[in-house]
Amino acid sequence: MMFCEQCEQTASGQGCHQWGACGKSPEVNAVQDLLIHLLRGLAPVALRARELGILQPEIDRFTCEAIFATMTNVNFDESRFTTYIRRAIAYREQLKTQIQQLTGVAQTWPAISYYEPDFTDSLAAQGQDLALQFISQSGMNIDIFSLKLTVLYGIKGVASYAFHAQELGQEDDRVYQFCYEALAALERQDLSLQDWVKLALRIGEINLRTMELLDAGHTGTFGHPIPTSVPISPRSGKAILVSGHDLPQLEAVLKQTVGTGITVYTHGELLPAHGYPRLKQTYPHLYGHYGTAWQNQTKEFAKFPGAIVMTTNCLMPPHDNYQDKLFSIGPVGYPGLNYLPNRGNGHPDFTPVIEKALELPGFTETEPLRQVTTGFARNAMLGVADHVIAAIKAGKIRHFFLVGGCDGAKPDRNYYTELVEKVPNDCVVLTLACGKFRFFDKNLGEIEGIPRLLDIGQCNDAYSAIQIAIALANAFEVDVNQLPLSMILSWYEQKAIAVLLTLLYLGIQDIRLGPTLPAFLSSNVLKLLSETYHLKPISTPDADLAACLA
Ligand code: FSO
Ligand code: SF4
């Protein structure tokens, strides 16, 4: 028995109760719940420590990494969660000691901050009890429970982006402070529905700041993306494939493979890496992109003739025919899968990956060149803003469609492919995140030299999309909602929840969301979102296009 409904593929659209549709076992789900319980207990202690000026960046970073590990398709390894659990307790007790030393008085903490599991007994069974407790604490108020889950899942998204940002030296104490506040709030029984709505929107606000930090980290380290053609056809030679979202870890692979003759390919959400000039210029062996979105990895990884590194989600339970050439790093894990821990410099030693790549055949021939284009992030777009504005004013561009978000396995996601195919010729499609793989290689042509399909980047580059929309709105002196722009989004996991909360925080109206609406939103919460923000489910491509263009 388990309870999880944090992602879009949740069983029967209602929650995974027997086994995760993602492959997560009830035991792993329970130890993840146990870890979250401990982080909720750590939060009040960390907040008190902060009040007293005790700042512990190591604990803040640990908290984000541990939360990240509980996201969909990140870590399936019970033993790794046991380590996180032990560390959470150690950090909590360390902070308590520091507080006592500083104040000279013994403090009283909420009960949750004293909790310690019995390590001689099943952690999974204890995690399951705690999960049931969490559910029953919300009493019979299904709407409050729905919002509590929205907060918890939204925080997971924020923590993952904060994890990425800090890897690039970008941190803002307000993000950590808020993560602790939101974790601590999950224990509160006195908050009204409106309070929970406010907290959820505050997640959107903090997530905007977190994505801004990550944007600063990416552009500060690797330069502003520029439109770049990326081969999606392999070339002959030994090969490494890097998947996930982590640019600094991709760079570490590139650095360590200089002079080895190995060609490095990106997979999934790392496609936008090719747009960053400093990566492309420094590492010519960062060659092309292989494969599509995460849910196709079991086929694509099996076929890839080299070693593979999974830097973040979305990891699927690996199949036997490629497990030995797959390596996980950072928060990612699966029992029995090769794991390369970080060294002191924040990066693993990738020697085993290089050795595996050299041992495997690599690509035996160079395929005829096929390319896609990426790198239309905010700087590139704002650089041609005058041109775009002139095309809109001249009636050459009628409408923009932001078709972005995550991909997934469900067949009804074909909606997004069909929609993009049917977008009229005088409209432009902006895209981001892994949902784009449903149409990323389509040639939609150009309008006045402006490509009709523009890849802004990863899911976190929603920040870039927001900046582009704000710049257009300013140029036309209108509100973003008055722009000829429709957002048709696909969601899958908790990063997407955080991004959606950001868009709602910004007051963006009329978002269409699919392929299904989140199971954790109760009917009243959904009603509230549709009344306030006109958030609506996708319907059919024809009907939605007609409505957007009306
Ligand atoms: Fe996709 Fe996975 Fe980037 Fe997600 S690879 S589904 S929203 O992790 O983060 O878009
Ligand atoms: Fe189910 Fe998604 Fe939770 Fe996995 S992460 S157990 S698929 S709801």
Which amino acid residue places its CA nearest to atom 2 of ligand 1?
314
Close Cβ partners of 19 (under 8 Å, ≥ 6 residues apart): 2, 25, 26
Ligand at minimal distance from the CA of 75 is 2
Per-residue confidence (pLDDT) for residue 276, from 0 to 100: 98
> How far is ligand 1, taken at its centre, from the CA of residue 121, in Å?
35
CATH topology of domain 376-549: Rossmann fold (3.40.50)
The answer to whether domain 239-359 and domain 376-549 are alike in fold is yes
CB 186 within 8 A of CB 42: no
Just give the CATH number of 239-359. Answer: 3.40.50.2030
Query: 434, 436, 461: which to mutate for ligand 1, most atoms within 8 A of CB?
Result: 434
Count other C-beta atoms under 10 Å from residue 216's C-beta. 16
Coil, strand or helix at 174: helix
Q: What are the residue ranges spanned by the domains of the chain?
A: 11-221, 239-359, 376-549
DSSP 16: B
What's the pLDDT tens digit per position in 265-324?
A: 999 999 999 999 999 999 999 999 999 999 999 999 999 999 999 999 999 999 999 999
The predicted pLDDT at position 30 comes to: 98
Name the CATH topology of 11-221: Substrate Binding Domain Of Dnak; Chain:A; Domain 2 (1.20.1270)
**The pLDDT of residue 49:** 98
- The finding on whether 4 has its CB within 6 A of some atom of ligand 2 is yes
CB of 489 closer than 6 A to ligand 1? Answer: no
Nearest residue to 289 via CA among 161, 448, 441: 441
Res 412: pLDDT = 87
> Which atom of ligand 2 lies nearest, measured to the CA of 19?
6
pLDDT of residue 138: 76
pLDDT of amino acid 139 = 66
Does pTM top 0.75 for this prediction?
A: yes
Gap between the Cα atoms of 139 and 144, Å rounded = 9
Q: Is 314 in the pocket of ligand 1 (CB under 6 A)?
A: yes
Single out the residue of 136, 144, 141, 138 nearest to residue 195, CA to CA: 144
Low-confidence ranges of the chain (pLDDT < 70): 139
Q: What is the distance, to the nearest Å, from the Cα of residue 179 to the centroid of all Cα atoms in its chain?
A: 16
